[in-house]
Amino acid sequence: MFQYRPMPAEHEPLHASFTLEYAYTRSTGPVVGRFLTGLRDRRIEGVKTREGRVLVPPAEYDPETGEATEDFVEVGSAGVVQTWSWVAEPLPKHPLQRPFAWALIQLDGADTGFLHAVDAGDESQMSTGMRVRVRWAEETKGFITDIACFEPDSNEARA
Amino acid sequence: MSEPITQIVTPTSLDYTFTAGGATERFLRGLKDGKILGQRCPKCQLVIVPARGACARCGVPTEDDVELADTGTMTTYTIVHIPVPGSDVKPPFVAATIFLDGADIGLFHLVHEVSLDKIRPGMRVKASWKPQEDWGFSLTNIRYFVPLDEPDVDVTELERRIAHA
């Protein structure tokens, strides 16, 4: 029978840090490409399904019916939190390096939830149904991070 | 109005800590002392390098360390013309499988100091080590292999011996 022969105990096990990275370039396709182009211009666009629902972010096909989607429509830059999850300890690759919420946000004029970060400061400031508004990045370049995050909407007057 | 977006760059990365484990640790500590350590399988008697603690063919543990020569025979190779992202090695370069003398499995390494049209299977090669003060726990202590002025080895014979062990 084999006897495990451990390393002599006089030194720590050898270890080293590694980073594995792939620098993918992806084709956006016509629908996501147009969405990202809109973000660069600080505009959020969705797409209308044949049944009249507005999907944000837009998709080439209606996930319910599989039918091709039709016209692009601009939606609001503010909306309602449908559901959320508080991140007390952000990870290095998260969009915010302070506690924040991931939230599904139904933008004004949209029929679907849009996943993004909400910079609410504290968990007590988060609630389902609260209104939030886009905070744009200082520089937009046609990427999802053009939306820096959402923040609680102080202007509750908007219907 | 600027061009519409058609492509995005989405790098994905994974940061991790590699811990060598018993057999790889012996191999790496050997390199720190300028030695290339393999292990002999107690069942098929083939010598595996780098030592992995087990024979991939027989599935049995290996614990018999074997110090190998830093000379060997190049079998297969690729001439790489496209730069590898994150690598300091400038193309064109030769990535090769080298059967060190005394080993029964190929080791991957670079072959330099030979003109590309002279590269051929069966070439004899020798390790070119970095200066000893630069040695770490790494196979990069060997910068690359260089041709040895010796007659070529019959690679089919080498393959046959291993296949029938």
ipTM comes to: 0.74
Domain count, chain B: 1
Window from A47-61, B42-56, B116-130 with minimum mean pLDDT: B42-56
- Cis omega (within 30 of 0) on the bond before B50? yes
Kindly state whether residue B2 falls inside one of the protein's structural domains. no
Chain B nearest-CA distance from A125, in A, is 32
- Is residue A2 less than 8 Å (CB to CB) from chain B? yes
Kindly state whether residue B61 falls inside one of the protein's structural domains. yes
Kindly state whether residue B13 falls inside one of the protein's structural domains. no
Query: With the C-alpha atoms ordered A84, A90, A93, A95, is the resulting torsion angle positive or negative?
Result: positive
Q: Which two tokens stand for residue B26?
A: 């012996």
Q: How would residue B165 be classed by pLDDT, with cut points 50, 70 and 90?
A: low
Kindly state whether residue B147 falls inside one of the protein's structural domains. yes
B6–A27 C-beta distance less than 8 A: yes
pLDDT at A125 over 90: yes
- The pLDDT of B85-110, averaged and rounded, is 91
pLDDT of residue B56: 85
Nearest to residue B111, comparing CAs of B128, B94, B98, B97?
B94
Kindly state whether residue B12 falls inside one of the protein's structural domains. no
pLDDT at B32 over 70: yes
Provide, rounded to the nearest whole percent, the portion of chain B with pLDDT above 70.
Answer: 98
pLDDT of residue A158: 47
Q: Which two tokens stand for residue A65?
A: 């019916």
Q: Domain range holding B59?
A: 22-163
Taking CA–CA distances from B17, the nearest residue in chain A reads: A17
